[in-house]
Amino acid sequence: MSTPSRKRLMRDFKRLQHDPPAGISGAPQDNNIMLWNAVIFGPDDTPWDGGTFKLTLQFTEDYPNKPPTVRFVSKMFHPNIYADGSICLDILQNQWSPIYDVAAILTSIQSLLCDPNPNSPANSEAARMYSENRREYNRRVREIVEQSWTAE
Amino acid sequence: MDTETGGEKERPRDDEIQAFHNQIRAADAEKLEFVGDKEPLSVLEDEYKAGSAVFLAKLQILKENYGSIRRARGDGNCFFRSFMFSYLEHLIVTQDEAEIARVEKSIEICKQTLIDLGHAEFTFEDFLGIFVEQLQSVIQGKETSISLDTLVERCRDQYVSNYVVMFFRFVTSGEIRRRAEFFEPFIQGMSNMSVVQFCRSSVEPMGEESDHVHITALSDALGVPVRVVYLDQSGDINDKPVTVNNHDFIPEGMDTSVDPYVILLYRPGHYDILYRRENPANVEPTILEQKN
């Protein structure tokens, strides 16, 4: 059935296929346009460099009026990412706007990796380490990067 | 917000806080339609009977020129919602096809602005389409024509109403970013945000309230003049005659003596639609009442 949200998601998908921003990819699961798998590559020349982080995006029929639920499947260590992989990012919550498409969502998450928001900690250990011991923080990030290659 | 003082464990998650906010807002909002019925201005007198003398004095002045009010739901979208209804209602009453042709050209420019700013067309075209559909249906004598009652219904319909509001938010955001240098000092006067941050946090999301910057941008982008009449506590009733402040937002390049037909009543934190008196002969009794 073609609802406004499904139609919109098809267009989101087309854009992501034809004009993908650097370092991200995403596609709906074979039999379900409302559930997407995505991969974000860690930005070059940062501790995240080389990481391939998997996510899922669950959309509802309210999309694009409501944001999808986005969650990292890969294990993460980041001030704004909860232990269950869910993400604390303004545009995925109260500052959502339909002007964002899937490409824009993934790009925003990618920039969040290197540019955490210390005001809304979702992982207090990561937040503390990020501000107090950057060297150790970076080491933990490198661990996560390595795990991202092997984890299934 | 403070990472140092509040043990993070007790702090509800952001999405939980947001869900709670939404719940409160939804419960509140359902008491009123997105746009209400047209009501005589005297309903405000009842509302403020026990209120401030300045308010009541200003209301009397308002009644000299304005006869009715149509309320918009206080859900943070009231400016955009009031603008939508007031503008479309004006068109349905005047059947001004030249104005529709003009605004459609402005919409094309807005579209190009958004594309130039890097937005994929499909992210806003549905919203744009719904607004254009309403514009085209207000002209009578076509298969798709709608009555004023239907216009009211559509502006109360969640899908149509919110899509048009969202389109206005895109247009407003596009105009602010296109003329960032012009808007920057106003934005920095209110907040520490950059133009882009302001648009992202205070323009593009639904439910974010509007002020001068939003009104200026939308009025300029669509080329529609807007009058805002302020009913607030400013002025002292014992001091000198109380006056009601107006501000006309006149789009760039338009004759400044133009008389706006989109008229909004601003009370602190909220916009409703205001209507001119239909029968100015009624003015006199009001003035007499006031003197008594």
- Torsion sign (Cα): B175, B178, B182, B184: positive
Tokens in use for B153?
Answer: 């219904």
Whether domain A4-150 has CATH 3.40.50.300: the reply is no
Q: Check A8 against B200: CB less than 8 A apart.
A: no
Q: Contact, B199 vs A94, CB < 8 A? A: no
- Torsion sign (Cα): A9, A13, A18, A22: positive
So what's the pLDDT on residue A150? 83
ipTM: 0.83
Phi-psi group of B223: left, alpha or beta (phi > 0 → left; psi -120 to 50 → alpha; rest → beta):
left
Q: Check B3 against A82: CB less than 8 A apart.
A: no
Enumerate long-range contacts of B285-291, CB under 8 Å, 24 or more apart.
Answer: B286/B60, B286/B63, B286/B64, B287/B64, B289/B60, B290/B60
Closest partner residue to B162 (CB to CB) among A65, A99, A101 is A65
3-class SS of residue A52: strand
Chain B interface disruption, residue of A11, A99, A105, most B CBs within 10 A: A99
pLDDT tens readout for residues A13-31: 999 999 889 999 999 998 8
On chain B, the residues whose CB falls within 8 A of the CB of A103 are 120
pLDDT tens readout for residues B55-104: 888 999 999 999 999 999 999 999 999 999 999 999 999 999 999 999 99
- Torsion sign (Cα): B82, B87, B92, B93: positive
Higher-confidence residue of A146 and A3: namely A146
Q: Is B78 a catalytic residue?
A: yes
Q: Which residues contact B25 (CB under 8 A, 6 or more apart)?
A: B75, B76, B207
> What pTM was computed for the model?
0.86
Q: Is B75 a catalytic residue?
A: yes
**Strands, E assignment, chain A:** 24-29, 32-41, 52-58, 69-72
Q: Is A126 on the interface with B (CB under 8 A)?
A: no
Q: Check B14 against A93: CB less than 8 A apart.
A: yes
On chain A, the residues whose CB falls within 8 A of the CB of B205 are 94-97
With b meaning 16 or more CB within 10 Å and e meaning fewer, what string describes A10-21?
Answer: ebbbebbeeeee
Flag whether pLDDT at B11 surpasses 70. no
Percentage of the residues of chain B whose pLDDT score is greater than 90: 67
Q: Contact, A90 vs B201, CB < 8 A? A: yes
Q: Where are the domains of chain A?
A: 4-150
Q: Contact, B75 vs B205, CB < 8 A? A: no
**In chain B, what are the domains?**
33-291 (1.20.1300.20)
Least confidently predicted of B13-22, B87-96, B193-202: B13-22
The span from the CA of B264 to the CA of B246, in Å, is 10
Higher-confidence residue of B25 and A55: namely A55
Phi-psi group of B33: left, alpha or beta (phi > 0 → left; psi -120 to 50 → alpha; rest → beta):
beta
On chain B, the residues whose CB falls within 8 A of the CB of A65 are 162, 166, 206
Is the backbone peptide bond immediately before A64 cis, with ω within 30 degrees of 0?
A: yes
Q: Check A96 against B205: CB less than 8 A apart.
A: yes
Q: Contact, B262 vs B87, CB < 8 A? A: yes
pLDDT tens readout for residues B208-266: 999 999 999 999 999 999 999 999 887 776 666 788 889 999 998 899 899 999 999 99
Average pLDDT on A100-110 reads 95
Q: Check B119 against A99: CB less than 8 A apart.
A: yes
Q: How far is B89 from chain A (nearest CA, A)?
A: 26
Q: Contact, A78 vs A115, CB < 8 A? A: no
pLDDT confidence band for A94 (50 / 70 / 90)? confident
Mean model confidence pLDDT for chain B: 88
- What is the bridge-based pairing of β-strands B262-267 and B226-230? parallel
Higher-confidence residue of A4 and B279: namely A4
Catalytic residues of A, which ones?
88
